Amino acid sequence: MKTFKRGISVIFFALFSFLLTAQIPEQLVKVIVTPNKDNWLYKPGEKALFSVQVLFHYNPLKGVKAYYEVGPEKLEPTKKDSLVLDGKSFVIDGGTLKSPGFLRCIVTVNYEGKKYEGMATAGYDPEKIKQTVPRPADFNDFWNKAKSELSRIPLDARMTLVPERCTEKVNVYNVSIMNYGYSRIYGMLAIPRKEGKFPAVLFVPGAGVRGYVPDMELAEKGIITFVIGIHGIPVNLDPGVYQDLANGALREYYTFNLDNKDRYYYKRVYLGCVRANDFLVSLPQYDGSNLAVTGGSQGGALSIITAALDSRTKYLAALYPALCDVTGYLEGRAGGWPHLFLKNNASFHNYKEKLETIPYYDVVNFARELKIPGFYTWGFNDEVCPPTSMYAAYNLISSPKTLLLIHDTGHWAYPEQHSNLRNWLTEKLGIR
């Protein structure tokens, strides 16, 4: 019975994580929207045309109304209209953009009581997108001081073997370590059981409140893997606890104390990622040189931030990073998750004190500091982390960078993206 309950918990965590961070790509009625350029890229002033097919059982759907809108991503559409499907594809004139950015066409169909949607997003000189978030003159001093304060706090690492998760090749531990402000970080650690020294990968989480399990596949290949939560609560609780916290005490945690750069919620989180590295490099099984960090969405942001803050990190791999150029909306374009200035949100956050805090935490200012190789992957159809925001950070990175761009993906990734990321990581870490 215990094994059954554990299995259910793992399935719940996986599903809950997916629902929080992914747009589900498959649907019964397929609304296929395609730009008229194969690479989805245009020059400012160049018109984008979008071809649309609506299929049911892979046959053209007829007699149903299709609604469409076109405009800069995440902003009010510049064009809205509808038509009745006649079984043929149709073309939407999307117009153009006059400056670097993204133009999105969204098509929806209501069929048998359910709404189906498809989209495509044309990119206009994305490599020329610039950040809107300013860089504080004391940015490095602020974080160096914070890391110095962290270094004076004892690690106080506590490891508890989890026999039911161990395998013949890997030992698994629940871990708790002391963090900034004498809070604690909780996570799960997987260490290869064979003799030797091993590289290590820190897994940083996407947004939300949930439990975690370590990456056993990489651990079985000979890599120490450590997955952490960011909220100072154990990562092996009953799923209902996380749901209660997500809907209660930790609801919209990313806005907590945003009006004070020294007390903002993410200060403890960012430093906690550095403290997680403190733990990893303290392990006797660690090889002493090969340390990587990876994650998606909020975890993509934390990967970049950890690599910028901690020179012990040698490689980073980020999927669709959040927290990038969040003030974009104030300049008339899309900003990054958590969309603090989108529509009605701006009335809560467009204040001097909050605008002064954001530059110390926005990914764009950490991207400037990167000095290590990084692997990145995202798509143009992401509505959670708009590509405008991600490019604003990516374009500031001067260290070696590899971008696997899969245009049609939203806030999700194909298996091939995950396998490419993992292959890149294992190769850099010297694992075949």
What are the catalytic residues? 297, 382, 411
Q: Are 216 and 200 in contact (CB under 8 A)?
A: no
The CA distance from 399 to 99, in Å, is: 26
Q: What is the largest CA-CA distance in the chain?
A: 70
| DSSP class per residue in 42-78 | E-TT---EEEEEEEETTEE-EEEEEEEEEEETTS--S
Six-digit token string for 151? 């270094």
Torsion of CA 70, 73, 75, 78, to 10 degrees: -20
> What distance, in Å, lies between the first and last C-alpha atoms of the chain?
38
Q: Are 301 and 363 in contact (CB under 8 A)?
A: yes
The CA distance from 160 to 158, in Å, is: 7
Phi-psi label, residue 180: left if phi above 0, alpha if psi -120 to 50, beta otherwise: beta
Query: What Å distances lie between residue 89 and 45, 77, 184, 244, CA to CA?
Result: 25, 22, 56, 46
Torsion of CA 360, 370, 292, 21, to 10 degrees: 50
Phi-psi label, residue 115: left if phi above 0, alpha if psi -120 to 50, beta otherwise: beta
Measured at the alpha carbon of residue 141, what is the angle toward residues 137 and 147, in degrees to the nearest 5? 145
The set of residues, in sequence order, having a beta carbon less than 8 Å from that of 289 and lying 6+ positions away, is 199, 314
Q: Are 51 and 34 in contact (CB under 8 A)?
A: yes
| DSSP class per residue in 110-142 | EETTEEEEEEEEEEESGGG----S---TTHHHH
DSSP 152: T
Query: What Å distances lie between residue 19 and 48, 213, 244, CA to CA?
Result: 32, 17, 16
Q: In what order do the strands lie in the sheet with 315-319?
A: 158-161, 170-178, 184-192, 224-228, 198-203, 286-296, 315-319, 374-378, 401-405
- Per DSSP, helices labelled H in 169-221 are 216-220
